[in-house]
């Protein structure tokens, strides 16, 4: 069954999805390194992890498994190998790259340098999101929430459900002592156009390269 599923998706899509998760994790780690605030979901998880004394990567897995149960019960069609990879590996990818930046690079000590670091996170993170989502190999448990809500309550567009879930995450992040700042706002409003750019000029072209499976 698994072999049939992998052949249906195609190894090309799986590889692009895997690379997407790597770049997404890299982007999240760069946001954290900038000290200007992370995207709402990861910012919330980092804050909650600190409050509970559980390392972020492990807390990411635990929290995502909880959301996966909701996804499994209400939106099975959004589940795929990408869902599993994102749930169990993304937090550790973020942690790995964050440790690399801390060991190899001086911490940005001015607002301008922090903004430049954050903007590089926008570019790399957006590329990762594009490469992870475009192959249609499964949606992360968190990303599935707004898709499921938009499908169930069709009078309200997806955009507003996404704003609601991100807003709740940002609120929890703030209330638990996390950093909600320029990076959080930039992630909320800046990812969309850059992801669209990478969809057209990178990911779609990668997925069209060659024929058959790798």
Q: Quick check: is 48 in a domain? A: yes
pLDDT tens figures, 161-190: 999 999 999 999 999 999 999 999 999 888
pLDDT for residue 84 is more than 80: yes
Q: Quick check: is 213 in a domain? A: no
pLDDT tens figures, 43-58: 999 999 999 999 999 9
Q: Quick check: is 3 in a domain? A: no
Its sign, for the CA torsion 162, 165, 168, 169, is negative
Q: Quick check: is 145 in a domain? A: yes
Q: Structural domain tally of the chain?
A: 1
Average pLDDT over every residue of 58-76: 97
Which of 21, 34, 29 has the alpha carbon at shortest distance from 119?
A: 34
Q: Quick check: is 81 in a domain? A: yes
CA of 46: how far to CAs of 20, 32, 43, 213, in Å? 21, 9, 5, 38
Which of 79, 40, 35, 41 has the alpha carbon at shortest distance from 59?
A: 41
Q: Quick check: is 2 in a domain? A: no
Q: Quick check: is 173 in a domain? A: yes
Q: How confident is the model at residue 63 (pLDDT cuts 50, 70, 90)?
A: very high
Determine the structural domain holding residue 181 and report its residue range.
8-208
Q: How confident is the model at residue 9 (pLDDT cuts 50, 70, 90)?
A: confident
Which of 4, 3, 2, 6 has the alpha carbon at shortest distance from 135?
A: 6
Task: Specify the pLDDT at position 1.
Answer: 63
Q: Quick check: is 214 in a domain? A: no
pLDDT tens figures, 20-49: 999 999 999 999 999 999 999 999 999 999
**Residues whose CB falls within 8 Å of the CB of residue 182, separated by 6 or more in sequence, listed in order:** 36, 37, 115, 118
């Amino acid at each position: 069954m698994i072999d049939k599923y992998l052949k249906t998706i195609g190894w090309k899509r799986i590889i692009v999805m895997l690379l997407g998760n790597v770049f997404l994790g890299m982007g999240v780690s760069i946001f954290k390194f900038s000290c200007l605030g992370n995207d709402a979901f990861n910012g919330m998880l980092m804050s909650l992890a600190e409050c509970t004394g559980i390392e972020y990567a492990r807390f990411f897995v635990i929290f995502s498994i909880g959301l996966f149960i909701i996804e499994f019960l209400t939106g099975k069609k959004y589940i795929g190998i990408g869902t599993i990879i994102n749930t169990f590996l993304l937090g550790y990818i973020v942690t790995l790259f964050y440790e690399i930046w801390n060991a190899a690079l001086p911490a940005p000590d001015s607002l301008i340098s922090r903004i430049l670091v954050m903007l590089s996170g926008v570019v790399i993170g957006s590329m990762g999101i594009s490469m992870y989502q475009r192959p249609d190999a499964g949606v992360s448990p968190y990303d599935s929430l707004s898709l499921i809500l938009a499908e169930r309550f069709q009078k309200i567009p997806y955009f507003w459900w996404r704003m609601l879930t991100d807003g709740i995450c940002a609120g929890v992040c703030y209330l638990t002592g996390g950093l909600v700042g320029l990076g959080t706002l930039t992630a909320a409003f800046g990812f969309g156009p850059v992801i669209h750019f990478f969809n057209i000029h990178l990911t779609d072209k990668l997925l069209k390269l060659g024929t058959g499976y790798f």
